[in-house]
A and B are shown apart, each in its own frame.
Chain A
Amino acid sequence: MNAALAAFVAGLIFAVGLALGGMTLPGKVTAFLDIFGNWDPSLAFVMLGAISVHAVLYRVIRRHSSPLFAPTFSTPTRSDLDFRLVGGAALFGIGWGIGGFCPGPAVTSLTSGQPSTLIFVAAMLVGMLLYKLADKAWGHPLATLPQRESHLVAATTSAFEDPQDA
């Protein structure tokens, strides 16, 4: 196994988990979010299963000084709360409620070729590009934090990089 194969296998398992869990059904997602209606709490079990496993394994894995096929762990270290975090999460939640898709299930569903999925993913990519443009126009409020270049520094100094949260 190497880094490339690991990333592929991780994506494959991730997709199967999403599909098995019901995350690729926008109707199930909106039923999960409909707490005052005909509520379907199933997707809470997706989160429960994922966090239970990863919360334990994360701590086991981080006992290693480095990943198997990369020089450093790229885990975020920020703990400050700002408008971007809360505002971005709020916009995302509104879009999630409207479309019933979050990014992972949307990308996973793409190969099903359904027109509504294709439209959603195309718009999502445009939204990400618009953010890129807006971020440039706003300047870099995060300029005090290491930006994308940090992984190059991290690779040579083995300092922790401080990437985006996800």
Chain B
Amino acid sequence: MENFTPLASLGGGILIGLSASLLLLCNGKIAGVSGIVGGLLSPTPNDTAWRVLFVVGLFTGGLLFSLFSPQVFTVSISRSTGALILAGLLVGFGTRLGNGCTSGHGVCGMSRFSVRSVVATITFMIAGFATVYIINHLLGGSL
């Protein structure tokens, strides 16, 4: 647990909760990134601008943060290009099929005590635990 960062992570979580609340209060929308990005792939009138601006906000926030500490964007795990492509395909397809990801189900849905989101969050956590167990303890830590 040498990299344990409970305070920074709690602070980051509080900002995420505030952001989700701001988007709900002002726009009436759920801060679910897979849904926001996925909606851009099937754009409909009057429902595109806020999505684009939220994503531009994500880019801007990432860029601003990287000015002060670029190390927060370090990719340190050992993954082949094929593994990254497989991971991306599964994340893209799975989040659209399951209607949400860590933000939409894990934060927003859990906060509403939505049964669907609780089930989805438990499911993707267990799948994540199992996958990392296989990679780190059966396959030697790289893929």
Residue numbers of A with Cβ under 8 A of B are 1, 3-28, 30-31, 33-55, 57-58, 61, 64, 66-76, 78-81, 84-104, 106-112, 114, 116-117, 119-132, 134-135, 148-149, 151-152, 155, 163-166
Contacts and interface: CB of A to CB of B under 8 A. Distances in A.
Nearest to A19: B65
Interface string B95-137: 1111111111111111111111101110111111111110111
Contacts of B124: 89-90, 92-93, 96
Given A4-B50, A165-B117, 14 more contacts: A14-B58, A17-B11, A22-B5, A23-B12, A42-B3, A46-B12, A49-B12, A50-B14, A54-B111, A64-B25, A111-B66, A116-B75, A165-B35, A166-B103
A161 to B, nearest CB: 9
A13 to B, nearest CB: 4
A163 to B, nearest CB: 8
A166 B128 contact: no
Interface in B27-83: 27-35, 37-38, 41-42, 44, 46-47, 49-51, 53-66, 69-70, 72-77, 79, 81, 83
Contacts of B1: 38-41
Contact of A128 (B11, B62, B96, B111): B96
Contacts of A44: 9
Interface residues of B, number: 121
Contact of B12 (A7, A18, A123): A18
Contacts of A18: 12, 16, 61
Contacts of B47: 148, 151
A40 B4 contact: yes
Interface centre among B5, B53, B91, B119 (most CB of A within 10 A): B91
A123 B6 contact: no
A104 B135 CA distance: 23
Nearest to A155: B46
B132 to A, nearest CB: 4
Given A14-B16, A85-B119, A54 B77 contact: no
B119 A81 contact: yes
A49 B16 contact: yes
A33 B129 contact: yes
